Structure 1
Amino acid sequence: MTAPTTTPARNAAGNGGYTTGRRMAASRLKLTYIGSVRAELTKLASIKSTCWLLGVAALLIVAGGAISAWSYKAMAFMDYNVETGEMVTLTTPKPVEAAYIWTSTVGMITTASLVFGIFGVMSITSEYTNLTIQSGFVANPRRGMYLAAKATVAGALSLLASLVGVGLSWAAVRGILSGIEITPLTQSQRLLPVVCILGGPVASMLMTIMSLGLGAICRSTVGGVFALIGLWTILPSMLSIAAFSEKLRPAFQSLSNCMPSSALGDFLNGMVGNAMDSGLSIGVTGDSKIDYFDPTWWQSGLIFLAWAAVAYAIGQLVIRRSDVK
């Protein structure tokens, strides 16, 4: 005679999970957020793609800074001769504005953010691809904590890689422009060093978290990367093309300025142009004036933060309510 068995009650939501069993298991294991973070750090650190993607992103930041600095150095030794109408080479270089030093340092972060984004997508979708997500949910049934721990580790690694890239980029820029006079920052640009040194790496971290949310929504590496590229490049390009219509230009131009890629670029470089200007710009076409929303650098930073928060929140909702494929 066999002993009678008991079957745990299914989740009332009908998603096939066993709510009571999961809560009891979590209680026995005494799951903590710190422990979950340690587990995610062990997993991500053991994957080769983590080192490759973060390394490539850091190198892109350094390469972009060096190339930009070389271009400024070349222009410093060149001037236009009005009488002859030709470019002449100067023996004494012209001064370079300090603002360009800082924008050159972080100039490639917008491009490198795509690499950080792919890293964020793969941080979650790779587990769906090889079905290790099942064992992950068994070890940590609290899916909200599971995704939060993964976002913490992935975001921290991206922050660290971006900090290294920005630091090396700044050193490369200053080394290339050594011997050339650097003019001081203006009063409106006084926060530019802080925005570049800290804001750039923080933006890279937010990009990773936003992409992690997209990966949790799609639960597929191909789908997540395509959604990221579509949101980062394809959709802004479509909005820019649609903005050629005079009647729809204000709406589409305003939407284009609020896209993640535009918001990140304006956050890092917007202080150089109109640092403290109003968020409402006026474009003139013929005899008519067109009003559209053109965010300042700090408004762009908040917009980019909102994109990351919304994508991550939706990813949390999907991963907590959906079954494993």
Structure 2
Amino acid sequence: MAHTTQVLRSEWTKAITVRTTVWTLGIAFLVTVAIGVLISLVINNSFEDLPERDRLNFDPVLTSFAGMSLGQLAMIAFGILLVSSEYSTGMIRASLAAVPQRGTFMAAKLVVGTALVFVVGMITSFVSFFLGQAMLGDLSVSLGDENVLRAVIGGGLYMTLIALFAMGVTWILRSALLAFSILVPLFFLVTPILANIEATRDVGYWFPDQAGGWIMSVVDTGDRPYGPWGGLLIMVGWTAVALVAGYLTLRKRDA
């Protein structure tokens, strides 16, 4: 127990003393909240000009999370940097020398990373919701309305899972450059395009961000083969696969 506590303390120190990792969490909060507020204000002022279909399917909660598409990139960056800093600085050799049990080493980093992104993710989600609803005016909903609390909590869970997924992928690749070059285009360009083109929509909906992001919706458009919790479960599956593959890579490959 004492050894595990020391490992956790060490990983905590490494996480909060690397400036780039701390900055990415702050950027995730600011970008998500700011864009959500801006889009909510624009929608409130132009709602009557929207096409009838968009007005019928309007989701006030999802509108508050309009900044999530960019904010999630900062969470991805956090996950990548938290792991890749071990390799880019050569610290991985010292870390594994101090903690030869690679499972313990990885678990400690996961615990610390999860704690940080979960707290920041939940704060970001609730602040985005309350400020976004304030901007929506008469179009707003309250936290006590049906499915709203689920969606807001889901926003925090989504940000946590996307960072953990990035950590798993980075353990596989062991390179920040490779992880960024794959994950950023994938989640910023590829999956949104696939999910919005009719011919590829059925495929796009099964990617982790498109499936997991459905947890933040309170309006069912009827075009997905799963519900909000089903979508989040799909994302959990993707994350688990990435982390298991990352662990196998860590265990079998030299530092």
TM over 0.5: yes
- Matches of 1:123 and 1:223, distance apart in 2: 14
Equivalent position of 1:285 in the other structure: none
Structure 2: runs of 5 or more not aligned: none
> SS of the counterpart of 1:107?
coil
**Selected match of 1:71 from 42, 45, 56:** 42
| Inter-CA distance 268–183: structure 2 relative to 1 (3 Å threshold) | closer
| Counterpart secondary structure, 1:294 | coil
**2:168 equivalent among 192, 199, 213:** 213
**How far did residue 150 of structure 1 move?**
0.8
Percent identity for Structure 1 against Structure 2: 24
TM-score (normalised: structure 2): 0.85
Alpha-carbon distance change, 130 to 79 in structure 1, aligned in 2, over 3 angstroms: closer
- Deviation for aligned residue 1:184: 7.3
SS of residue paired to 1:163: helix
Aligned match of 1:113: 72
* Cα distance, 1:308 vs structure 2: 0.7
Q: Distance in 1 between matches of 2:228 and 2:125?
A: 19
Deviations 1:259-295 (A, max 9, x none): 12211332322x3134xx5xxx5xxxxxxxxxxx633
Answering whether residue 82 of structure 2 is matched by residue 135 of structure 1, we say no
Using the size of structure 1 for normalisation, the TM-score is 0.68
Pair 1:224-2:179 in alignment: yes
| 1:181 to partner: Cα distance | 6.7
Q: Displacement, 1:296?
A: 2.4
CA–CA separation in structure 2 for the residues paired with 1:159 and 1:117: 13
State the partner residue of 2:3: 31
Does the 8 Å contact 2:21/2:81 carry over to 1?
Answer: no
What is the letter of the counterpart of residue 76 of structure 2? G
Matched residue SS, 1:273: coil
Structure-1 residue corresponding to 2:237: 306
Q: Which whole-Å deviations, capped at 9, do the CAs of 1:231-269 have from their partners, x for residues lacking one?
A: 42454367569x77xxxx4xx433211012211332322
The Cα of 1:230 is off from its aligned counterpart by 4.4
Check whether the contact 1:110–1:264 (CA below 8 A) recurs between aligned residues: no
Instruction: Specify the alignment match of 2:219 in structure 1.
Output: 272
1:238-249 correspondence to structure 2 within 5 Å: 239=194, 249=199
Which structure has the bigger radius of gyration? 1
Between stretches 105-114 and 227-236, larger displacement belongs to 227-236
Alpha-carbon shift at residue 44 of structure 1 (Å): 0.5
Q: Distance in 2 between matches of 1:268 and 1:37?
A: 32
Distance (Å, rounded) in 2 between the aligned partners of 1:106 and 1:237:
15
Identify the residue that residue 17 of structure 2 maps to in structure 1: 46
Q: 1:175 aligns with which of 134, 150, 157?
A: 134
Could you say what secondary structure the match of 2:3 adopts? coil
Partner deviation per Cα, 1:21-40 (whole Å, 9 max, x = no partner): xxxxxxxx9632x3322211
Which ranges of structure 1 fall in alignment gaps of 5 or more residues? 1-28, 81-95, 282-292
Change in CA separation of 1:294 and 1:40 when aligned onto 2, cut-off 3 Å: same
How far does residue 183 in structure 1 lie from its aligned partner after superposition? 6.4
**Structure 2 CA distance for partners of 1:101 and 1:235, relative to 1, 3 Å:** closer
2:116 match: 157
Report if aligned partners of 1:263, 1:303 keep a CA contact under 8 Å in 2: yes
Judge conservation of contact 2:151–2:216 (CA < 8 Å) in 1: yes
- State the structure with bigger RCO (CA 8 A, min sep 6), 1 or 2: 2
Of Structure 1 and Structure 2, the greater strand share is in: 1
Counterpart of 2:72 in structure 1: which amino acid? S
For residue 102 of structure 1, report the CA deviation from its aligned partner: 2.2
Q: Helix, strand or coil: the match of 1:128? A: helix
